[in-house]
Amino acid sequence: MTGAGGGRGESGVNVVSGVGGVTSVSGDSGAAGRAGKPTLAVVGATGAVGTVMLGILSERADIWGEIRLIASPRSAGRKLTVRGEEVEVVALSEEAFEGVDVAMFDVPDEVSAQWAPIAAAKGAVAVDNSGAFRMDPDVPLVVPEVNAHAARVRPRGIISNPNCTTLSMIVAMGALHAEFGLSELIVSSYQAVSGAGKEGVDTLRAQLAKVAGTELGTQPGDVRRAVGDTGPFPGPMALNVVPFAGSLKEDGWTSEELKVRNESRKILGLPELRVTATCVRVPVITTHSLTVHARFENEVTVPAAHEILASAPGVVLCDNPAEGEFPTPADVVGTDPTWVGRVRRSMDDPKALELFVCGDNLRKGAALNTAQIAEVVAAELTASRN
Ligand SMILES: NC(=O)c1ccc[n+]([C@@H]2O[C@H](COP(=O)([O-])OP(=O)(O)OC[C@H]3O[C@@H](n4cnc5c(N)ncnc54)[C@H](OP(=O)(O)O)[C@@H]3O)[C@@H](O)[C@H]2O)c1
């Protein structure tokens, strides 16, 4: 098995963190070491993504001066810990962006749509995790391992972070595309409930408590009746899978499926790429998985794909099924890379590969990628000031 520099965990898979950028807290933390460093605002610091973001900012190299925490007026005055220090949350307002160099937005679409342009007008570079700007031609959609260069051209002062399902596979697909030339993607997702925010997690945990220790799951509708409230999901999540994520769009596609198609095309710079996605919600707390059928311009082999994936930044190859080694969400959750296993050449097509991919939807799928983009911007700002 080939890893990206990590040790072997008890779980039986390589456990790696910090892939794709600087890691560990630097020695010069504290107010004195922060003079002259860029000021960061985290908007939505209290949410599912925001909470993971504070952990990531505490683990990675301390490149920031002040870190300002912003949320709704409901959370103003709450104290949260980042970089080992308590910071008071302030309510979202124009004044909150005073002196901010980079503003991350981990808030609902409509809040980003309104406030990211305001932050940009105040002089900050906005890095937005919502879906508000992803397909705007004047807003780059960035995955640093794949298209870091795109972050430099941002006419609106806004950079978008892709959705978590696309992000959970795109680093691996970008590496394979660079070698073989991607022509088609057919994917099915197995998406965790935290993709629907804190409410999604609370819903599954409450449902699991109701079905634990019962004989439910043997009669039509018995689980549905027992769990009652389905929260943000269109069906019970405990003891079930639900073939629907996001909202219904034209011709029966869901918003999540269209995002995978449109965002993969934009990130890879392949506007004509054939992409088909079926998005399914599964009873996993955090970490999205995908089965991928990837077709290329050129013939592929498993050894060549292994070599590319094993050396790609931000990817861990975990592919030894004879020993029971392949990624699963239970082992991958809390780690940074994209994990790839079950690599096979399609039996009927020498130009196609079948893969199983897992990625933590709150880390690389959201907060980590945003933090990496912010670091790219911070390096650019720091270089331009020196
Ligand atoms: N969860 C994922 O896997 C994932 C992955 C990629 C992208 N995203 C995107 O990231 C964003 C945040 O998602 P999440 O899952 O973290 O949601 P969440 O758990 O519901 O958190 C929402 C955050 O937004 C804040 N907020 C809500 N309304 C606000 C307002 N009017 N003014 C200021 N702050 C407001 C909340 O503050 P209060 O606590 O004060 O209400 C909270 O901090 C969404 O756009 C989502 O689509 C999520």
Catalytic choice (177, 288, 318, 358)? 288
Residue 314 and residue 334 in contact, taking contact as beta carbons nearer than 8 Å: no
Does ligand 1 lie within 6 Å of residue 360's CB atom?
Answer: no
Span 369-374, average pLDDT: 97
Which atom of ligand 1 is closest in space to residue 50's alpha carbon? 16
Nearest to 318 by CA among 309, 20, 347: 309
Tell me the CA distances in angstroms from 102 to 63, 67, 164, 293, 379, one per residue in order: 12, 10, 21, 37, 11
Reply yes or no on whether the pLDDT at 136 is more than 90: yes
pTM reported for the whole predicted model: 0.90
Does ligand 1 lie within 6 Å of residue 262's CB atom?
Answer: no
Q: Which of helix, strand or coil describes residue 90?
A: strand
Q: What span, in angstroms and rounded, lies between the C-alpha atoms of 93 and 73?
A: 9
pLDDT band at 30 (very low <50, low <70, confident <90, very high): low
Strand partners, 128: 105, 160
Does ligand 1 lie within 6 Å of residue 164's CB atom?
Answer: yes
Query: Which residue is closest in CA terms to ligand 1's atom 4?
Result: 195
Ramachandran assignment for 105, one of left (phi > 0), alpha (psi -120 to 50 degrees), beta (any other) = beta
Does ligand 1 lie within 6 Å of residue 89's CB atom?
Answer: no
Does ligand 1 lie within 6 Å of residue 107's CB atom?
Answer: yes
- Render pLDDT for 318-336 as a digit per residue (tens, 0 to 9): 999 999 999 999 999 999 9
DSSP E strand boundaries for the chain: 7-8, 14-15, 40-43, 67-71, 79-82, 85-88, 90-91, 102-105, 125-128, 158-160, 182-191, 274-281, 288-296, 315-317, 338-345, 352-359
Based on the residue annotation, tell me whether 177 is a catalytic residue of this protein. no
**Residue 308 CB: number of other CB atoms within 10 A?**
19
Query: Which residue is closest in CA terms to ligand 1's atom 42?
Result: 47
Q: What span, in angstroms and rounded, lies between the C-alpha atoms of 57 and 64?
A: 9
pLDDT band at 386 (very low <50, low <70, confident <90, very high): confident
Reply yes or no on whether the pLDDT at 11 is more than 50: no
Reply yes or no on whether the pLDDT at 201 is more than 80: yes
Does ligand 1 lie within 6 Å of residue 44's CB atom?
Answer: yes
Based on the residue annotation, tell me whether 164 is a catalytic residue of this protein. yes
Query: Which residue is closest in CA terms to ligand 1's atom 46?
Result: 130
Q: Which of helix, strand or coil describes residue 15?
A: strand
Which atom of ligand 1 is closest in space to residue 109's alpha carbon? 45
Cα dihedral across residues 203, 204, 209, 211: positive or negative: positive
Q: How far is the CA of 63 from the centre of ligand 1 (A)?
A: 24
Contact residues for 311 (Cβ-Cβ < 8 A; gap 6+): none
pLDDT band at 10 (very low <50, low <70, confident <90, very high): very low
Probe target for ligand 1 pocket from 107, 129, 169, with the most ligand atoms within 8 Å of CB = 107
Reply yes or no on whether the pLDDT at 171 is more than 50: yes
Span 223-229, average pLDDT: 97
Strand partners, 378: none
pLDDT at 295: 98
Q: Which two tokens stand for residue 214?
A: 């019962």
Q: How far is the CA of 51 from the centre of ligand 1 (A)?
A: 10
Does ligand 1 lie within 6 Å of residue 232's CB atom?
Answer: no
- Render pLDDT for 31-72 as a digit per residue (tens, 0 to 9): 667 888 999 999 999 998 999 999 999 999 999 999 999 999
Contact residues for 178 (Cβ-Cβ < 8 A; gap 6+): 308
SS (H, E, C) 282-316: CCCCCCEEEEEEEEECCCCCHHHHHHHHHHCCCEE
Query: Which residue is closest in CA terms to ligand 1's atom 18?
Result: 47
Reply yes or no on whether the pLDDT at 6 is more than 60: no
Strand partners, 317: 340
- Render pLDDT for 266-295 as a digit per residue (tens, 0 to 9): 999 999 999 999 999 999 999 999 999 999
pLDDT band at 19 (very low <50, low <70, confident <90, very high): very low
Does ligand 1 lie within 6 Å of residue 369's CB atom?
Answer: no
Residue 53 and residue 72 in contact, taking contact as beta carbons nearer than 8 Å: no
- Mean pLDDT score across all residues of the chain: 92
Q: Which of helix, strand or coil describes residue 260?
A: helix
